[in-house]
Amino acid sequence: MDLPDRYNVGADLLDRNLEAGRQHKVAIHSASGELTYGDLAQPTYGAARALHDLGVRREERVLIAGYDSPGWVASFLGAIRIGAVPVPVNPLLQRSEDYDHFLEDSLARVAVVDAASEEKIAGAAGRAPQRPKLLRADQLTPGDAVTPAATRKDDMAFWLYSSGSTGKPKAVVHLQHDIPYTCVTYAEQVLGITERDTTFSTTGLFHAYGFGNNLTFPYWVGASTVLHAGRHTPATVLETIEKRRPTLFFSAPTLYNAILNFEGAKTRDLKSIRHCVAAAEALPAEVWRRWKDAFGLTILDGVGSTEMLHIYCSNRLDDLRPGSSGKPVPGYELKILDERGQPVSKGEAGDLHVKGDSALALYWAQHEKSKRSILGEWFFTGDRYRVDDDGFYWYEGRSDDMIKVSGLWVSPVEIESALLEHPAITESAVVGVSVDGFTKIKAFVIAKPGSVGGDALVTELQDHCKSRLQRYQYPHLIEFVTELPKTVTGKIQRYKLREKEATPA
């Protein structure tokens, strides 16, 4: 990458299209209508001026909590344009209290909201020490051109949150040059994206995967995007594809599988799509084959992370192995090390490390975590992988106890704590198990003397967790046991439970 020292990525993603004469080219298709790149400039300038007028200054944070929309995009680009740091967060969290940590951790001066998130964020803002002001993304006033702040290519640009082993989200700090790096590596060299493409991602803009799919990649080349506000279902996905005719479709393995199982799916028209992409969790080879049989389309599965910003290892149309994560993306290097930090033999599993210039600068206010994860030019991913004789990488699980379900990280500690709040439970241990190639959450629980197990208590425990945690943070499977494996110091050995589940009966 040969970027100038003075570089503002928020301005670049918009201005490069205006300078290329794409003022009348559609940038966004959404339920509210179509916006050209020229149209998008107006609310972006409006967001920049509104944030400045609300007191936001260079490197101060701006929380963004809302569904995918033109206003979301304008707020993100507008914030970086004035040198501020946008901080997207998940709009699907259920409780106002779920946003307290984001506001306190980021010290956001302004929170950008929409109609669906305003009440939740307003409650959290009222409790926050710095009392951030609210700005509605869907009510931005168009503005005149705003001169970009003279940020440097190595300045802080934006944050994305990633869950930690305790369930406390940690802020991943990215720099101005990180976005272009992902665009010229994965987007150009693996996807081959051009201005003729239209992208559609079922993963939202707040997530690193969806952020690249439906914002940075298309804007880099002047392509068009399809934004859908709200949750995706097989029905809405198929309807959107038939109506908007995307050429690049991005989703998670769980939703690919759900579409395949949706009645009448195989009769739907997906002929506009030239590439399908999967990430956020491992794609079972059987789902890959069924999708190919049903629609004649190849899914390019890959692995990425919030810390690396997007996919750094991927299959290609002319070089793939169903069930694997593919091979390193140009611009990235991978290595697999054992517990002593030495390279493993080919075919053996170990800890995956990745090197590439889109890597995070640090975890905000997480010095020890940053030191453990950022090892010089290399990032410790926390994933265990093996590489075969042909150079394909195969996922073998996590190095820690975190569980990824439907592309979302789940902390076993949180679920265990919720289970222990139930009067019938004395101990619990939660792990991820494989069911038909997909990861499910399984709880091993010890009931108190006199408690009656069975299906009734299983349902009660699941409802108990759903009432206290997020909708996806509950055990899909529950097994009642009389004891749990522990170390001599009393720590639960979850890996032994995982090994037990993986061993054939």
The three-point CA angle 92-395-401 to 5° equals 60
Is 403-502 in CATH node 3.30.300.30?
yes
Pick the CATH number of 177-400 from 3.40.250.10, 3.30.1120.10, 3.40.50.12780, 3.20.20.70: 3.40.50.12780
Question: Furthest-apart CA pair in the chain: how many Å?
Answer: 75
Q: Determine the number of helices (DSSP H) and then strands (DSSP E) in the chain.
A: 15, 26
Residue 96 has a pLDDT of 96
CA distances for 303 relative to 159, 179, 212, 250, 254, angstroms: 20, 17, 14, 13, 15
Q: Give SS3 for 399.
A: coil
Can you give the pTM of this predicted structure?
Answer: 0.85
Residue 166 has a pLDDT of 47
**DSSP result, 267-329:** GS--TT-SEEEE-SS---HHHHHHHHHHHS--EEEEEE-TTTSSEEEE-BTTB--TTS--EEP
User: Are the C-beta atoms of residues 407 and 203 closer than 8 Å to each other?
Assistant: yes
User: Are the C-beta atoms of residues 413 and 167 closer than 8 Å to each other?
Assistant: yes
Per-residue pLDDT tens, the chain, 505 aa: give them. 799 999 999 999 999 999 999 999 999 999 999 999 999 999 999 999 999 999 999 999 999 999 999 999 999 999 999 999 999 999 988 899 999 999 999 999 999 999 999 999 999 999 999 999 999 999 999 999 999 999 999 999 999 999 754 457 899 999 999 999 999 999 999 999 999 999 999 999 999 999 999 999 999 999 999 999 988 999 999 999 999 999 999 999 889 988 998 999 999 999 999 999 999 888 888 899 999 999 999 999 999 999 999 999 999 999 999 999 999 999 999 999 988 999 999 888 889 999 999 999 999 999 999 999 999 999 999 988 999 999 999 988 777 777 888 888 787 878 988 898 899 998 889 999 999 889 999 999 999 888 877 899 999 999 999 998 888 889 999 999 999 887 544 557 787 888 888 776 5
Q: Rg (Cα) of the chain, in Å, rounded?
A: 23
Q: At 135, give phi and psi (nearest 5°).
A: -135, 125
Q: Give SS3 for 67.
A: coil
User: Are the C-beta atoms of residues 1 and 70 closer than 8 Å to each other?
Assistant: no
CA proximity to 138, closest of 114, 174, 167? 114
What are the structure tokens assigned to 114, written together?
Answer: 């929409």
Domain boundaries, the chain: 1-175, 177-400, 403-502
What are the structure tokens assigned to 272, written together?
Answer: 């506009």
Question: Cα–Cα distance between 397 and 383 in angstroms, integer?
Answer: 6
User: Are the C-beta atoms of residues 93 and 37 closer than 8 Å to each other?
Assistant: no
CA proximity to 253, closest of 198, 205, 301? 301
Matching fold, domains 1-175 and 177-400 = yes
Q: Which residue has the tokens 């940020």?
A: 151
Residue 339 has a pLDDT of 83
What are the structure tokens assigned to 234, written together?
Answer: 């097989």
Pick the CATH number of 1-175 from 1.10.357.10, 3.30.1360.150, 3.40.50.980, 3.40.50.720: 3.40.50.980
Residue 416 has a pLDDT of 87
Residue 163 has a pLDDT of 74
Question: Cα–Cα distance between 160 and 89 in angstroms, integer?
Answer: 7
Torsion of CA 163, 166, 171, 172, to 10 degrees: -60
How crowded is the C-beta side of 152, counted as CA atoms within 13 Å? 3
257 CB contacts (<8 Å, ≥6 apart)? 284, 287, 438
What are the structure tokens assigned to 253, written together?
Answer: 């393995």
User: Are the C-beta atoms of residues 161 and 169 closer than 8 Å to each other?
Assistant: yes
Is the sign of the CA dihedral 159, 160, 163, 167 positive or negative? positive
